[in-house]
Structure 1
Amino acid sequence: MKRHQFTHIVGTKTYQFRDLKDLMAKATPARSGDYLAGLAAGSAEERVAAQMALAALPLSIFLNDLLVPYEKDEISRLIIDEHDAVAFAPIKHLTVGDFRNWLLSDEVDAGVLAAAAPGITPEMAAAVSKIMRVQDLILTARKCRVVTRFRNTIGLANSLSTRLQPNHPTDDASGIAASILDGLLYGSGDAVIGINPATDNVPQVIKIVSMLNEVIDQYQIPTQSCVLTHVTNTIAAIERGAPVDLVFQSIAGTEAANLGFGINLNLLDEARNAALSLKRGTVGNNVMYFETGQGSALSANAHHGVDQQTCEARAYAVARKFKPLLVNSVVGFIGPEYLYDGKQIIRAGLEDHFCAKLLGLPMGCDVCYTNHAEADQNDMDILLTLLGTAGCTFVMGIPGSDDIMLNYQTTSFHDALYARRVLGLKPAPEFEAWLKQMQIFGDGDEVRLAAGLPAPFQQALRRLS
């Protein structure tokens, strides 16, 4: 594979970039992780020079000048070996700058973007995002339409789904049930009812997933459950007869980072096949759920000198291969070492959403931050509103925005309801019909809670109290 050097002149000063990796990193909007890695531009002027040089490059360079060597990384091999040359043909003559203009043009709609997605590599998506303003990221992502199905239909136009996240620090069944009831009564849970177990072993996974299955069956909820455990635990649970809906795994953008997670592509393929064998979906067979996040490869010293946002985009190649129901970036969860403050978190969340949607993924976002970051809930309100405008697939729903098991701040049931109301967004249609049937939502087109406690849940509340 070829290696290139790049220069760009600003006034009387010539900026030199030693290779494509260096150019991509220097062109990235400022973030603490890239400074930590020694990859960031040394000044705003150098960043602009890099962005201008990047904009002039042909998209085809990313097929010939690989940021992570083909022979050393199975993600690089996946990207190149499964690249769709036919889908790429209509845009192969474009530069990165031309690509931005093409994406923003009125002629390019959801159908055109869907047809092009298999021909776009993660590095192409990352490159164009680096020269885009926030409004560019929002406008293009909003045009992308990615629809997936298991027990309901996720990602339709003018929709926003939610993951109901009823985590508990001791996995107490009553505490989990109370959070599930609370979330359902605010219309949360159509993307998935997903729990991070406090005790992470196969018997506990089976116990929790069985409890979730009972709740879904008892109330005939058109949604799916997931226990966010390691993929090997889920495979073992399936082998023991557990009622698994979705298989979860955190993924990253390099082979070395994924090995740090204890996974590779073959293991993920095994897990997907195991879940498909259960045939538990009623309207579709998208059975995988992936989480990603900028900084994961860097934190494992597995980034190969590539900037954290480009590494993140490469994780979407992994996700795309396995046709997931859901993908989300836990954008502020990894901490201020990688995204220092609210401004960096907001930009990263919009980048992640844009790149994943452009690559054809059903992308959501955990709009979140840790308590030692320079961010607060007002920053999250801004990001939530921008993502809702951009057509984000789903966000999290947590009691009071505060995950008492993982100890971080995210979005609440109320926040998701706000976004749906102010932006005119709906849950998955099957789930919305159930909410109205159960007297949680009122009749009509507006997202409105019905008055009083719905009769079907009065007995459940008495049991919990």
Structure 2
Amino acid sequence: MAYAHSVRGRSFRFDDLKTLLAKATPARSGDALAGIAAADDSERAAAQWALADLPLKTFLNEQVIPYEQDEVTRLIVDSHDSGAFAPVSHLTVGDFRNFLLSDAADEAALAALAPGLTPEMVAATSKIMRAQDLVLVARKCRVVTKFRNTIGLKGRLSTRLQPNHPTDDPAGIAASVLDGLMYGSGDAVIGINPASDSIPAVMKLVAMLDEIISRQNIPTQSCVLTHVTTSIEAISRGAPIDLVFQSIAGTEAANKSFGVDLAVLKEGRDAALSLQRGTVGDNVMYFETGQGSALSAEAHHGVDQQTVEARAYAVARAFKPLLVNTVVGFIGPEYLYNGKQIIRAGLEDHFCGKLLGVPMGCDICYTNHAEADQDDMDVLLTLLGAAGVNFIMGIPGSDDIMLNYQTTSFHDALYARRVLNLAPAPEFAAWLERAGIFTDASAAKLGESLPAPLRALAFG
């Protein structure tokens, strides 16, 4: 079905829904690279007006990727909850935006609505929203998950302690873990990107993290961010795995480029659940996503990168994850060129994920060849903190020496908690106070000395 709108006497025609969505997207380099972006601001404005007038029901009748060709589309269509959708089924995209900004759209209403929304609906709505709109609506969404602690509660900001090392050196990793714990980092997960994906190497790292957590009775979880099939095999060999990780995308073809499909993800979740390692909940999956991943794999089907990214959250939602984060600036300037585009993408991703009922975090990051710097990341960090992001990254000095990109540091998380009056997950906050690391976790106030238990952790 074709769509049309006029701006200042110029008429614009959009051949189908995916073209309309692409042309309505705020400018970003990835869509320009794919040849699907609006030619100029007039065409973008016309597409946004046409999109605002589009009934939400359109997204149930017209798919951006055919049902027969893509298992992610089939998942979206087959899992749609028409009852949950009913309260907004009569609205246009523009009307839906206005509803989301209204007081009627409170936490309870948005939670009930989530199963009735499709990724394309929320992506379309984000395209006609300002940055402040994305912050305000996302702040009203609350997605709470549990494993050994409770993540996503109001007034809380969790962090992934990311102790990566280019050679997986145990001493280097332990030093980073200690550093992070001393700044109150690590309640979302202590998660390592391994230098080696071999099963013995992964199992060694898993065992090391398990020993640290169990010896110090830390109410958190660990994850070695290896391929899901490696985690499945490690579990079969007796590895004490808490969370199973996988990078995912919003099309079947892109997921195949990662070596996964929905069946493999289910197998990974079932394997982790079989270990019954959670103490307060059973959310056992950790997913990472990022705008541009499908385009980089030539698996985007002509759909704009932000809409494809939102479709990845439908994949995540199906597996009840503990953590999902968009690694927003990691893929590079070919997809998000500068700080402005990275900031916009991070807010869009968080908004879309939260509306769909996904426990969204963000790796607030950029590569060194992007037109961005740490000031841009400070802006995005502050905006996401205000928007109620579930978790962010924490790494020494904000410089990942293994993956060679810039992200947020332990100090950055402490800044966000102090300025925005946010605390760690409650169970982890209580542990920080017992250990003497924080004197007042609710105010993110650090203790004055290194506690004896952590001296033992550091020095054996």
The bucket for the TM-score relative to the shorter chain is over 0.9
Which of 262, 266, 283 is equivalent to 1:265?
262
The aligned counterpart of 1:33 is 30
Q: Please give the alpha-carbon distance, in whole angstroms, between the structure 2 residues aligned to 1:80 and 1:453.
A: 53
The aligned counterpart of 1:296 is 293
The aligned counterpart of 2:306 is 309
Q: CA deviation at 1:201?
A: 1.1
The aligned counterpart of 2:205 is 208
The aligned counterpart of 1:431 is 428
Q: CA deviation at 1:444?
A: 6.6
Q: CA deviation at 1:461?
A: 3.4
Q: CA deviation at 1:462?
A: 3.7
Residues 17 and 233 of structure 1, relative CA distance in 2, 3 Å threshold: same
The aligned counterpart of 1:52 is 49
**SS of 1:15's equivalent?**
strand
**SS of 2:302's equivalent?**
coil
Q: Does 1:146 align with 2:153?
A: no
The aligned counterpart of 2:75 is 78
Which of 436, 457, 460 is equivalent to 1:460?
457
Q: Please give the alpha-carbon distance, in whole angstroms, between the structure 1 residues aligned to 2:123 and 2:328.
A: 16
Q: Please give the alpha-carbon distance, in whole angstroms, between the structure 1 residues aligned to 2:167 and 2:197.
A: 11
Q: Please give the alpha-carbon distance, in whole angstroms, between the structure 2 residues aligned to 1:162 and 1:368.
A: 14
The aligned counterpart of 1:386 is 383
Q: Does 1:411 align with 2:408?
A: yes
Q: Please give the alpha-carbon distance, in whole angstroms, between the structure 1 residues aligned to 2:121 and 2:440.
A: 45
RMSD across aligned positions (CA): 0.7
The aligned counterpart of 1:6 is 3
The one-character-per-residue Cα deviations of 1:108-155 (angstroms, maximum 9, x if unpaired) are 101000000000000000000000000000000000000000000000
Q: Please give the alpha-carbon distance, in whole angstroms, between the structure 2 residues aligned to 1:98 and 1:404.
A: 46
- Normalization by structure 2: what TM-score? 0.99
Q: Please give the alpha-carbon distance, in whole angstroms, between the structure 1 residues aligned to 2:8 and 2:337.
A: 32
Q: CA deviation at 1:202?
A: 0.8
Q: Please give the alpha-carbon distance, in whole angstroms, between the structure 2 residues aligned to 1:309 and 1:461.
A: 43
Q: Please give the alpha-carbon distance, in whole angstroms, between the structure 1 residues aligned to 2:457 and 2:302.
A: 53
Q: Please give the alpha-carbon distance, in whole angstroms, between the structure 2 residues aligned to 1:327 and 1:458.
A: 32
Task: Give 1:335's aligned amino acid.
Answer: G
Q: CA deviation at 1:182?
A: 0.2
Give the percent of matched residue pairs that are identical in Structure 1 and Structure 2: 73
The one-character-per-residue Cα deviations of 1:402-450 (angstroms, maximum 9, x if unpaired) are 0000000000000000000000001000000000000000047421001
Q: Report if the CA contact (8 A) 2:421-2:442 is conserved.
A: no
Q: Report if the CA contact (8 A) 2:187-2:424 is conserved.
A: yes
Q: Report if the CA contact (8 A) 2:72-2:251 is conserved.
A: yes
Range moving further from structure 2, 448-457 or 432-441: 448-457
Q: Please give the alpha-carbon distance, in whole angstroms, between the structure 1 residues aligned to 2:259 and 2:133.
A: 36
Q: Report if the CA contact (8 A) 2:424-2:441 is conserved.
A: no
Q: Please give the alpha-carbon distance, in whole angstroms, between the structure 2 residues aligned to 1:160 and 1:126.
A: 25
Task: Give 2:86's aligned amino acid.
Answer: A
Q: CA deviation at 1:12?
A: 1.6
Q: Please give the alpha-carbon distance, in whole angstroms, between the structure 1 residues aligned to 2:295 and 2:262.
A: 20
The one-character-per-residue Cα deviations of 1:316-358 (angstroms, maximum 9, x if unpaired) are 0000000000000000000000000000000000000000000
Aligned length: 460
Q: Report if the CA contact (8 A) 2:56-2:92 is conserved.
A: yes
Which of 350, 369, 391 is equivalent to 2:366?
369
* Ranges in structure 1 where 5+ consecutive residues have no aligned partner: none
Q: Please give the alpha-carbon distance, in whole angstroms, between the structure 2 residues aligned to 1:445 and 1:145.
A: 19
Which of 10, 15, 24 is equivalent to 1:18?
15
Q: CA deviation at 1:460?
A: 3.3
Q: Report if the CA contact (8 A) 2:117-2:356 is conserved.
A: yes
Q: CA deviation at 1:11?
A: 2.4
Q: Does 1:105 align with 2:91?
A: no
Q: Please give the alpha-carbon distance, in whole angstroms, between the structure 1 residues aligned to 2:64 and 2:442.
A: 48
Q: CA deviation at 1:107?
A: 1.3
The aligned counterpart of 2:183 is 186
Q: Report if the CA contact (8 A) 2:440-2:446 is conserved.
A: no
The one-character-per-residue Cα deviations of 1:289-337 (angstroms, maximum 9, x if unpaired) are 0000000000011000000000000000000000000000000000000
Q: Report if the CA contact (8 A) 2:394-2:413 is conserved.
A: yes
Q: Please give the alpha-carbon distance, in whole angstroms, between the structure 1 residues aligned to 2:194 and 2:179.
A: 19
The aligned counterpart of 2:172 is 175
The one-character-per-residue Cα deviations of 1:82-103 (angstroms, maximum 9, x if unpaired) are 1000000000000000000000
Residues 332-351 of structure 1 mapped to structure 2, 5 A cutoff: 332-351=329-348
Q: Please give the alpha-carbon distance, in whole angstroms, between the structure 2 residues aligned to 1:452 and 1:153.
A: 27
Q: Please give the alpha-carbon distance, in whole angstroms, between the structure 2 residues aligned to 1:455 and 1:207.
A: 26
Q: Please give the alpha-carbon distance, in whole angstroms, between the structure 2 residues aligned to 1:111 and 1:29.
A: 30
The aligned counterpart of 2:225 is 228
Which of 448, 451, 460 is equivalent to 2:445?
448
Task: Give 2:238's aligned amino acid.
Answer: G
Q: Does 1:395 align with 2:386?
A: no
**SS of 1:171's equivalent?**
coil
Q: Please give the alpha-carbon distance, in whole angstroms, between the structure 2 residues aligned to 1:77 and 1:351.
A: 24
The aligned counterpart of 1:252 is 249
Residues 288 and 444 of structure 1, relative CA distance in 2, 3 Å threshold: closer
**SS of 2:443's equivalent?**
coil
**SS of 2:44's equivalent?**
helix
Q: CA deviation at 1:40?
A: 0.4
Q: Report if the CA contact (8 A) 2:180-2:186 is conserved.
A: yes
The one-character-per-residue Cα deviations of 1:32-69 (angstroms, maximum 9, x if unpaired) are 00000000000011101100000000001001110000
Which of 110, 129, 133 is equivalent to 1:132?
129
Runs of 4+ in 1 over 4 A off after TM superposition: none
The aligned counterpart of 2:117 is 120
The one-character-per-residue Cα deviations of 1:342-389 (angstroms, maximum 9, x if unpaired) are 000000000000000000010000000000000000000000000000
Q: Please give the alpha-carbon distance, in whole angstroms, between the structure 2 residues aligned to 1:462 and 1:322.
A: 39
* Ranges in structure 2 where 5+ consecutive residues have no aligned partner: none
